Structure 1
């Protein structure tokens, strides 16, 4: 059977091109991410840096490690998803061939061996190409992390020979995992199906599709509820995981959606070609669902993540606007509180400076984990006057000496209590800080407040000012530093957070989403390659070549509509989950669907699928129709 696998792979190599490229890119991205991740995790901090600079550099490396870990998981998921879709599609097309194989004496195990053998060949070839492509991808990834500020200039992952074994295992593993479900379905093909005229008329919504679809749909609903309960830093990764489960659920249940989408499609296009495209959509349910799958993945991940991050940014903006009671914000290079307070028209002043503290936290394993946490050094009296802040326990007035006020939303599992002492490491500061107040849950921060005189290692201060005459106060403060209104400062912070979110999204999804574009084209090519006889029959009954192309194009647009619909539903589930979490966490209702991005993704997917459909249909109709019809059995 392995020899037959090679023969099939060699004869039908066009069908597997997209899957080979997908495995290649998956291996390249996993290899690159692993090498870069290990290099970032083991990078040495250069001597001679200040404590603040060393901490910032280590935090950047830690951020890169977290981002690369998510990239590896996402790349593996998308690669397995696309390879499995490809094999599922080819099994549906080869149903009659497989039945003939069964009719000639092949057992179910031999059929599965045939497909697994094809997957091994695909995985081996993809792994070899991916290992070569991984080196330039690693350099590109290093430059991307450098550009986004995660790593210092010139950083690049170091080559390690063991990664070749990981690459080979990744490529072959992706291919084999992707073919398992398809091989199980192929083994169920009955020998007598070889005698049927239409071998692909098997029932599409099988029991396994129902079970998988409903299981992952129920799991997605449970995750949305869990996101709303947990909130905090766990909300974003869990929301992304909701996209995974919804994509799997909707892929399994997609054949149910095809008739629903084809109904309005048939009403919109009432001509002969529209009726034919409508009929093709309904008749080729499996083909339509398989072609729509990569479009759904593209929309679900890109729009879902963009919507999640935009919702977090909007909620943070609303939270800061709700909690700040200042009129003006002054940014200075050094502490000048007395000068600020002396400016005519200035009332209350809050002096605030960012500070990073290495804090020892016990996550339940009995061992302290020192983390660099971002805190805000404040004068508690001035901070209370310029912010709407009501501690849930303790008193902010006690924020003096070796003290800290903590928001439990930083890490709900730690269960901070007033009176706890937290070990810290800082130059010239105390060894422990006592928790004197618990701050309300927050999304925008700060999660930690410390006294202004706790440590000298602080960033440039800012001053939030309440003014009886904002215009006069702004004129006087302008001589001390950069002055903006509180509203402008809030909007600028929100814009910066959105920019950072876009950087993270590009780094996380940029390479992985290239898979979906390849998968779109690959699905259309596979679909058209099996329809030469169908196109020829349409032409001998009176349709011109151009009309056949337009019919296929109309059908492709219907498939795009299916993918956009399901992908938008999956993205909406992600955004709804994070919106529920934010509402439960800080009491703010915020949802920011990225309509412009959704429109751009929809337009791009439509253009890609339409162009691929036209080109492949032209290629499939190049042979004279009568010759293909005469060659049919």
Structure 2
């Protein structure tokens, strides 16, 4: 059986090329990710850094480790997905070959061993290709994380043989894991069933596919209903993350049904032209091929658009929350002198702050405020204690630290701008989405801090005129929006990495499906040309068909993302009284445009290659 496995890989290399690329990428990403994570775990900081600089660098290392962990898990998941899709497709295309083996005496277990042998060889080959990819990936990931300010410029990831061994194990094990379902299906093939060539004997929707698809769809529906019923922003965010996963799984498993159904929607546009009608018919009737192309796009759009929209909405909600909590009219840099046209002037100065607590040092910022003026420009009030007592050697725990277990009345050993002080906790504010404000202290303790002033203008005074007089004052709505954008910028780099990774894997999966399908369509193309179509028309049919499937896949992925964002929109409406929703139109346009280019060019190229031989040479005998 090992000889048969080697022969299958040699003779049908075009069917396995995508899986080899996926395994190589997975091995390279796992190897480079583990190598960088191992180096990040051994933090070596140069001398001369301040405490807050050390804390920020360590926080960046932790963020880099989290991102790399997500990358490794995503790489393993997508590798298994592509390998399983590849072998599932090859089993369908090789039914006659597998049936002949059964006819000459091969047992079911032998077929399983043969396919597992192919997967083993594929895993070894992918690992061999992936090791040098991992070496380059280590350098690239290190530079990327440095550019995202997660790692310091001096970071270096030395060679770690343990990462290589782990990546090799992952490469082989993912290949074997991905082929298990296909091997079981192949062992169920009988000679007469496959040789009969009846469509009914080759069902696209297997029992397990029905089970997983319907189960995921039902669970997704329950989650969407729960998100609407909860009406809470935090609950909506958590449920949205689950809906993206379960919804993507549901539609990808049910894609043989969903894609033809959605394929009827463009009928009004495609109807009336011979080439367009043939392409539309292929989408509706070549269910397996259409589903294999659309499934990766459904997962890609559902996850990326849903994630970006969810966290973009969270960042936008930060701005809306601040707009509603802050009652000032303007925010000015520096100190503003009280004047007749100003009702309230509330300066606040931020300085480095260190507190020693429970055996560890917390590095943060303390904001020096005038409690009376601050309460006149903010709606937020303490959940424990009172800001009226914030005088002398006292401190109020801000929203960014209110969940850390600080107790009212306790005394903290702290350092403000390199000056050691003892501060009594007199107030603890509630949590907010914006966790930038950590501690508040009397402004007398922060004389040299970075200052900005919140200004409430007097009754009857135009805020625009005051802003013009102050010179650099900003309306509170713009200031609040900038706070939300600042949080979004922190997420952009992380999502750019994950988006690039998922996009590469989706491209590999889609191109792999098209190349595999084209290998089985040469006879179909020859029949079309013998029926009177020109070579250009056949290529146009394949191109329009593929582009239609792209549109359907993106449309179904948007359905998943919309289901996830529906609960988030309801949560913001109930929390703030207005719907706050960030729809990533640019990302969606980028995915759609990139998918059309990649899939269209691949479909045209493979159809051109498949139509190079003369039709009569392909119809003379069965392949």
Q: What TM-score do the two structures reach when normalised by structure 2? A: 0.89
Looking at structure 2, the residues matched to 355 and 515 of structure 1 have their Cα atoms a distance apart, in angstroms, of 45
Cα separation, partners in 2 of 1:151 and 1:614, compared to 1, 3 Å: same
Cα separation, partners in 2 of 1:38 and 1:460, compared to 1, 3 Å: farther
Other structure's SS at 1:162 match: helix
Q: By how many angstroms is 1:299 displaced?
A: 1.7
Where does residue 28 of structure 2 map in the other structure?
28
Looking at structure 1, the residues matched to 522 and 411 of structure 2 have their Cα atoms a distance apart, in angstroms, of 72
Cα separation, partners in 2 of 1:60 and 1:267, compared to 1, 3 Å: same
Q: By how many angstroms is 1:419 displaced?
A: 3.4
Other structure's SS at 1:464 match: strand
Other structure's SS at 1:159 match: coil
Where does residue 152 of structure 1 map in the other structure?
152
Where does residue 545 of structure 1 map in the other structure?
535
Is the contact between residue 233 and residue 568 of structure 2 (CA under 8 Å) also seen in structure 1? no
1:252 is the counterpart of 2:244: no
Is the contact between residue 356 and residue 412 of structure 2 (CA under 8 Å) also seen in structure 1? yes
Where does residue 379 of structure 2 map in the other structure?
388
Q: Which runs of 5+ in 2 are unaligned?
A: none
Q: By how many angstroms is 1:319 displaced?
A: 1.4
Where does residue 606 of structure 2 map in the other structure?
616
Where does residue 450 of structure 2 map in the other structure?
460
Write the deviation string for residues 310-343 of structure 1: whole angstroms up to 9, x where unpaired: 21222122112222222222223xxx5xxx3445
1:592 is the counterpart of 2:582: yes
Other structure's SS at 1:631 match: coil
Cα separation, partners in 2 of 1:172 and 1:487, compared to 1, 3 Å: same
Write the deviation string for residues 290-316 of structure 1: whole angstroms up to 9, x where unpaired: 111222233223322221232122212
Range with greater deviation from structure 2 (429-438 or 100-109)? 429-438
Is the contact between residue 333 and residue 451 of structure 2 (CA under 8 Å) also seen in structure 1? yes
**Which of 619, 625, 631 is matched with 2:615 structurally?**
625
**Aligned residue runs from structure 1 range 145-544, under 5 A:** 145-198=145-198, 201-221=201-221, 239-240=240-241, 242-268=243-269, 269-332=271-334, 336=335, 340-342=336-338, 345-354=341-350, 372=363, 376-400=367-391, 401-407=393-399, 419=408, 421=410, 426=415, 428-429=419-420, 434=425, 436-439=427-430, 441-446=431-436, 448-452=438-442, 460-468=450-458, 469=461, 470=463, 473-474=466-467, 477-478=470-471, 482-544=472-534
Looking at structure 1, the residues matched to 442 and 157 of structure 2 have their Cα atoms a distance apart, in angstroms, of 40
Other structure's SS at 2:583 match: coil
Q: By how many angstroms is 1:265 displaced?
A: 3.5
Is the contact between residue 116 and residue 183 of structure 2 (CA under 8 Å) also seen in structure 1? yes
Cα separation, partners in 2 of 1:582 and 1:389, compared to 1, 3 Å: same
Range with greater deviation from structure 2 (375-384 or 536-545)? 375-384
Looking at structure 2, the residues matched to 457 and 241 of structure 1 have their Cα atoms a distance apart, in angstroms, of 48
Other structure's SS at 2:265 match: helix
Where does residue 569 of structure 1 map in the other structure?
559
Q: By how many angstroms is 1:381 displaced?
A: 2.0
Other structure's SS at 2:507 match: helix
Write the deviation string for residues 569-606 of structure 1: whole angstroms up to 9, x where unpaired: 22223333444554566665311212232123212211
Q: By how many angstroms is 1:387 displaced?
A: 1.4
Write the deviation string for residues 549-583 of structure 1: whole angstroms up to 9, x where unpaired: 12212221221122112211222233334445545
Other structure's SS at 2:473 match: strand
Cα separation, partners in 2 of 1:30 and 1:420, compared to 1, 3 Å: farther
Aligned residues: 615
Kindly report the root-mean-square deviation, in angstroms, between the aligned alpha carbons of the 2 structures: 3.2
Cα separation, partners in 2 of 1:149 and 1:524, compared to 1, 3 Å: same
Is the contact between residue 394 and residue 426 of structure 2 (CA under 8 Å) also seen in structure 1? no
Looking at structure 2, the residues matched to 236 and 71 of structure 1 have their Cα atoms a distance apart, in angstroms, of 21
Other structure's SS at 2:264 match: helix
Q: Which runs of 5+ in 1 are unaligned?
A: 362-366
Other structure's SS at 2:205 match: coil
Q: By how many angstroms is 1:237 displaced?
A: 7.7
Q: By how many angstroms is 1:433 displaced?
A: 6.0
Where does residue 126 of structure 2 map in the other structure?
126
Looking at structure 2, the residues matched to 218 and 421 of structure 1 have their Cα atoms a distance apart, in angstroms, of 50
Other structure's SS at 2:348 match: strand
Cα separation, partners in 2 of 1:585 and 1:475, compared to 1, 3 Å: closer
Cα separation, partners in 2 of 1:83 and 1:578, compared to 1, 3 Å: farther
Looking at structure 2, the residues matched to 588 and 313 of structure 1 have their Cα atoms a distance apart, in angstroms, of 15
Looking at structure 2, the residues matched to 330 and 233 of structure 1 have their Cα atoms a distance apart, in angstroms, of 32
Looking at structure 2, the residues matched to 31 and 231 of structure 1 have their Cα atoms a distance apart, in angstroms, of 41
Looking at structure 1, the residues matched to 464 and 259 of structure 2 have their Cα atoms a distance apart, in angstroms, of 62
Looking at structure 2, the residues matched to 583 and 590 of structure 1 have their Cα atoms a distance apart, in angstroms, of 7
Q: By how many angstroms is 1:488 displaced?
A: 3.3
Range with greater deviation from structure 2 (562-571 or 496-505)? 496-505
Is the contact between residue 263 and residue 283 of structure 2 (CA under 8 Å) also seen in structure 1? yes
Cα separation, partners in 2 of 1:126 and 1:356, compared to 1, 3 Å: farther
Write the deviation string for residues 161-212 of structure 1: whole angstroms up to 9, x where unpaired: 1111111011112212221222222222222123213578511222211111
Is the contact between residue 341 and residue 347 of structure 1 (CA under 8 Å) also seen in structure 2? no
Q: By how many angstroms is 1:227 displaced?
A: 7.5
Is the contact between residue 22 and residue 83 of structure 1 (CA under 8 Å) also seen in structure 2? yes
Is the contact between residue 344 and residue 476 of structure 1 (CA under 8 Å) also seen in structure 2? no
Is the contact between residue 84 and residue 182 of structure 1 (CA under 8 Å) also seen in structure 2? yes
Write the deviation string for residues 130-186 of structure 1: whole angstroms up to 9, x where unpaired: 111112222111221222211222323222111111110111122122212222222
Cα separation, partners in 2 of 1:456 and 1:39, compared to 1, 3 Å: farther
Is the contact between residue 350 and residue 446 of structure 2 (CA under 8 Å) also seen in structure 1? no
Looking at structure 2, the residues matched to 544 and 383 of structure 1 have their Cα atoms a distance apart, in angstroms, of 77
Cα separation, partners in 2 of 1:67 and 1:331, compared to 1, 3 Å: farther
